[in-house]
Structure 1
Amino acid sequence: MTAASGSPAFAKLVAQRDAFTIERLRAGGAICLGKTNMPPMANGGMQRGVYGRAESPYNADYLTAPFASGSSNGAGTATAASFAAFGLAEETWSSGRGPASNNGLCAYTPSRGVISVRGNWPLTPTMDVVVPYARTMADLLEVLDVVVAEDPDTRGDLWRLQPWVPIPSVTSVRPVSYAALAVDSENLAGKRFGVPRMYINADPDAGTSEKPGIGGPTGQKIHTRATVIELWQAARQALEAAGAEVIEVDFPLVSNCEGDRPGAPTVFTRGLVSKEFLHDELWELSAWAFDDFLRANGDPHLNCLADVDGPSIFPHDPGTLPNREDDLAAGMDEYVRMAQRGITPWDQISTVPDGLRGLEQTRRLDLEDWMDTLGLDAVLFPTVADVGPADADVNEASADIAWSNGVWVANGNLAIRHLGVPTVTVPMGVMADIGMPVGLTFAGRAYDDSALLRFASAFEATGSKRMIPPRTPPLAAI
């Protein structure tokens, strides 16, 4: 099969072997039906790639994923529409959580190194994770029993390659049986969850700093749609009825990344990771990863980045509006020029060791220590604030909605994946006014993945909130 990654530059690139997760699935008896659609190189959300884009099975007037970070839109749409029993997504910012939310799916974004990314096209090696999709938590857990396993081959998987930050073995993180994590709602009793005020229209300080954000709409105040708030309130009532405590909290993980309020730093100014590392992470590491993927794949017709037609990696679709990432944009044709000058191997990029240590320290301070102080078992929040209109690529008014904070990318923006935070997203319901689903995301301490899967299963057990997509109804039996 081809490994185009949605890009015209790689439309004829042929995969010479399976990725690790596909190896595991085939060995477990799965039948792989096909590959799903995405924007070029997963570097966005609903931009049209070499095969166009997926459309919502719920409402044709709305996007099936966040516009700027929902690249797994094909996997989300296909799984929601029951084209297959489950799907595999990938996430670098929110391309796993976002399409799952817009398609009423269960999704798991793991801690670093839990699911091998060997054989997956990279985007940003410090952040990329495989994200399994399913329509129920039971199905998701069954998939995890197969794909979560030790992979002795670390090529292309930065966190398992690097020696500077110890990460636990897969066997020490995964349970003996993922299926055993499917619990009833009684398991919510006594749990203490925090919901960030910034995501439920209850944070007057959000977005009030003089220059909020680190690019695009990051740091700006989030305006959560009224019908999303209604779903959140119903979810909160279900959690509390099951015996959980839900408290409203600040969210330093995001505020200290984006500088969204007076006195808050940003990831660029705080000093825990250097500006030089943040540059190298986006450029030197990504260029190395692209080149290494092509070399590891070994297609005799294209096996090094220097031979790629750079402008065709992510061409702008004629007639569509420009993206609005501002300083966060990456011109991928530059990766080719870097390769032609000479790639710097990952272990020779001088900023990487301290950079990786700094990312880990940031998460410990802003999430784990903070959660310990508040006695939280998990953080939870609506996965998105709203859903963008389907014509956001050609209509300025629609683009204003689709590129607003909380909509352009799923809630959490850069910080969730940049800092290795595990999450589980589960359907929260369908908005009463537009008929689009919204997810509820559980986030927690690194390598507390199994607890998050239990919480999501227990929430689902309070009553399934998923609705079958009306545009792809069940087929009549023959």
Structure 2
Amino acid sequence: MTALPWLSAADASRAFAARTLSPVELLTALLARIETLDPKLNAFIRLDADAAMATARAAEAEITAGRIRGPLHGVPVGIKDIIDVAGLPTTCHSKILLDNIARADAVVIQKLRQAGAIILGKLSTHEFAIGGPSFDLPFPPARNPWNREHHPGGSSSGSGAGVAAALFPLALGTDTGGSVRNPASACGIVGLKPTYGLVSRRGVFPLSFTLDHVGPLTRTVADNALLLDAIAGHDPADPGSAATDARSFGWLLNRGVRDLRIGFVRHFHERDLPAHPEVAAALEDAARVLQAEGAQVRTVTLPSLTEFAAINRVILCGEAWSIHAPWLRERPGDYGQLARRRLLPGAFMTAGDYVGAQRRRTQVIAAVQDQFRDVDVLLCASSMDPATRLDDAAETARSYPRQARTPFNVTGHPAVAMMSGLARNGLPLSVQFAGRYFDDATVLRVAAAYERATKWHTKMPPIG
């Protein structure tokens, strides 16, 4: 029972098919672990244990009858609480929406159910996916299983903490400025922001219509590909959804990186936002590892992080204000301080600001696209620092923007963040890989090669 929670989704699926493990046995072990550890981590806003067990029993009966829907059949998944699950509240971790019961499943939840996955419950987030680690909200902030006094990243904070602590093998998060990849970086797991438009956002509470993505968080790259396979696909009712035939995202995982061309964006962490020395050293080591595996690594230059951040900020604030303006005018006191502070600047953005940011966005996209003529994948920093203490609001506010994830929300390219080491204080370090549009499979291919060569994914946090 103590080992079961650490099973990958792929291993659990194989054990189910071989009848050496049942979905009920796995879920029972996970629920016992959640009962013990979640009071220390606050990953869940709402655990839907009874419904999950009913689904596990149904999944077990289907397996017994020889009906297996796919590799996620019987596998539990945690859901960030801005994604609708029918019959459960979608609170967005906010007093504003405490009584907001979802009438229907989001498209990604529909797809998970069709794949036979078990919806385990709703997970902590930063308020409306834009606040920060906060103590003035209806639910406590999630904590980092590597050190509970530190934050787990955000805004998909419960997703990152829960996967890292083996409360569940898979989770969904969302990413508007890095909110899948930040918890992946802080918690030492794998977090992918897919190509913009690859995964439907219908049924997900929006933050920024042209920047929002839904993405998978897992402990292994193979599991990330399995979860992406389940949720990807065109949705004509999502205006941002792309009609693409991209699928089978794990088919290149065992290919290695020999002769792939990797562009190392050193200026992100050397000049634009000088990184913690341990972060910088881990990035150089990642480049050496990939070179040793046969990749060609060269230094490339993109627009500065300052420029990407400014474009993201103007677009996000303008679009978020269009969503939150009525509540901010009528119920400003029902927001937490951090979310209110981050949303209000949108009231002062002009149409000219917004259009100017979108025009400059097309130019920086062209600059990134130009680099992809000469390289297959980009390597760069994710976070510039290990996770800071939850009770140090000033240091968290300083370090949160020190990241290189936002560029790929602005451009829409796929990007994955994963563990690249442990700092001297025992907290995870991270690396990021980004790729061409709808070539998420190659991004995961590089991540898988790095994972095999380093084994950081075998490290377990000291939470238990």
CA drift at 1:382? 2.8
C-alpha deviation, 1:451, in angstroms? 1.8
Question: 2:253 aligns to what?
Answer: 182
Structure 1 counterpart SS, 2:250: helix
Q: Which amino acid aligns with 1:128?
A: D
User: RCO (CA 8 Å, sep 6+): is it higher in 1 or 2?
Assistant: 1
Q: Choose from 205, 211, 232 the match for 2:283.
A: 232
Answer yes or no: is the 8 Å Cα contact 2:143–2:149 preserved in 1: no
Cα deviation 1:116-145 (Å, max 9, x = unaligned): 011111111111100111100111111111
Residue 414 of structure 1: how far off its partner (Å): 3.6
1:456 is aligned with what amino acid?
A
- Read off the aligned partner of 1:252 and give its amino acid letter: P
Shift of 1:106: 1.1
| Aligned residue among 244, 252, 257 for 2:295 | 244
- Aligned counterparts of 2:151 and 2:316: Cα–Cα separation in 1: 30
1:377 aligned partner: 376
Structure 1 residue aligned with 2:11: none
**SS of 1:425 mapped into structure 2:** strand
TM-score by length of 1: 0.70
Amino acid at match of 1:445: R
Distance 1:403 1:281, change over 3 A: closer
Q: Deviations over 1:180-218 (max 9, x none)?
A: 23224xx311122122223443x4xx4xxxxxxxxxxxx
Q: Using a 3 Å threshold, how does the CA distance of structure 1 residues 128 and 267 change in structure 2: closer, same or farther?
A: closer
Q: Does 1:64 align with 2:138?
A: no
Are 2:250 and 2:444, in contact at CA under 8 Å, matched by a contact in 1?
no
TM-score with structure 2 length normalisation? 0.72
Question: What is the CA-CA distance between 1:449 and the residue it aligns to?
Answer: 2.1
Q: CA deviation at 1:385?
A: 1.5
The amino acid across from 1:458 in the alignment is A
Does the 8 A contact of 1:105 with 1:135 survive in 2? yes
CA contact (8 A) 1:110 1:131 kept: yes
In the other structure, the counterpart of 1:13 is: 100
In structure 2, how many angstroms separate the alpha carbons of the residues matched to 1:190 and 1:449? 18
Cα separation, 2, equivalents of 1:368 and 1:25: 33
Alpha-carbon separation, structure 1, partners of 2:223 and 2:412: 24
**8 A contact 2:264–2:380 mirrored in 1:** yes
Q: Which position in structure 2 is the counterpart of 1:140? A: 224
Pairing partner for 1:425 from 400, 405, 417 = 417
| Partner amino acid, structure 2, of 1:14 | I
Per the TM alignment, residue 467 of structure 1 is displaced from its structure 2 partner at its CA by: 4.4
Question: Structure 1 residues 434, 449: CA separation in 2 closer, same or farther (over 3 Å shift)?
Answer: same
| C-alpha contact (below 8 Å) 1:104/1:467 kept by paired residues | no
User: Is the contact made by 2:189 and 2:419 (CA closer than 8 Å) also made in structure 1?
Assistant: yes
Amino acid across the alignment from 2:379: L
| 3-state secondary structure, aligned to 2:359 | helix
Task: Say how many residue pairs are matched.
Answer: 376
Deviation of 1:50 after TM superposition, in Å, equals: 2.1
Does the Cα contact within 8 Å between 2:415 and 2:443 map onto a contact in 1?
yes
**2:416 touches 2:433 (CA, 8 Å); kept in 1?**
yes
Shift of the 131–282 alpha-carbon distance from structure 1 to 2, 3 Å rule, reads same
Deviation at 1:439, TM superposition (A): 2.2
In the alignment, the residues of structure 2 paired with residue 178 and residue 54 of structure 1 have an alpha-carbon distance, to the nearest angstrom, of 30
Q: Distance in 1 between matches of 2:183 and 2:112?
A: 22
Describe the SS at the equivalent of 1:132. strand
Q: Is the 8 A contact 1:107 1:133 kept in 2?
A: yes
Measure the CA separation in 1 of the matches of 2:109 and 2:345.
27
**Per-residue CA distance 1:414-434 (angstroms, 9 max, x = gap):** 432122122022221222x11
Alignment pair present for 1:330 and 2:343: yes
Where does the alignment leave 5 or more consecutive residues of structure 1 unmatched?
A: 161-167, 207-220, 259-265, 269-277, 292-303, 324-328, 336-348, 474-478
- Cα distance between partner residues in 1 of 2:388 and 2:324: 32
Q: Which residue of 2 aligns with 1:275?
A: none
Higher helix share: 2
Where does structure 2 lack aligned partners over 5 or more consecutive residues?
Answer: 1-87
Paired residues of 2:207 and 2:316 also in contact (CA < 8 A): no
For 1:271, the equivalent position in structure 2 comes to none
- 1: distance between equivalents of 2:218 and 2:186? 13
| One of 116, 119, 126 as aligned partner of 1:39 | 126
Deviation at 1:253, TM superposition (A): 5.5
Instruction: Rate the CA distance shift 1:116–1:311 in 2: closer, same or farther, 3 A.
Output: same
**Which residue of structure 2 aligns with residue 295 of structure 1?**
none
- Structure 1 residue 247: Cα displacement: 2.2
Is this contact kept in 2: 1:310–1:334, CA < 8 A? no
Does structure 1 residue 403 correspond to structure 2 residue 403?
no
- Cα 1:308–1:114 shift into 2, 3 Å: farther
Query: Does residue 1:282 correspond to 2:317, yes or no?
Result: yes
2-structure distance, mates of 1:411, 1:281 = 17
Map 1:349-360; keep pairs closer than 5 Å.
358=359
Tell me what 1:389 maps to. Answer: 388
Task: Indicate how the Cα distance of structure 1 residues 30 and 421 shifts in structure 2: closer, same or farther if over 3 A, else same.
Answer: same
Distance of 1:464 and 1:413 partners within structure 2? 23
Does 2:445 correspond to 1:454? yes
Looking at structure 1, the residues matched to 252 and 173 of structure 2 have their Cα atoms a distance apart, in angstroms, of 22
> Compared with structure 1, are the counterparts of its residues 316 and 360 closer, same or farther at alpha carbon in structure 2 (3 Å cutoff)?
closer
Residue deviations 1:213-233 (CA, integer Å, cap 9, x gap) = xxxxxxxx42x2222233223
The residue that corresponds to 2:61 in the other structure is none
SS of the residue corresponding to residue 77 of structure 1 reads helix
How far apart, CA to CA, are the structure 2 residues paired with 1:333 and 1:362?
23
Cα gap change, 1:252/1:466 in structure 2, threshold over 3 Å: closer, same or farther?
Answer: same
Matched, 1:311 2:333: yes
CA distance in 2, matches of 1:354, 1:254: 20
* % identity of equivalent residues: 25
Q: Is the 8 A contact 2:321 2:346 kept in 1?
A: no
Shift of the 358–334 alpha-carbon distance from structure 1 to 2, 3 Å rule, reads closer
Task: Give the drift of 1:308.
Answer: 6.3
Q: Are the equivalent residues in 1 in contact too, given 2:159–2:171 (CA < 8 A)?
A: yes
Instruction: Give yes or no for contact 1:57–1:469 (8 Å, CA) kept in 2.
Output: no
Decide whether aligned partners of structure 1 residues 247 and 421 sit closer, same or farther in structure 2, where only a CA change above 3 A counts: same
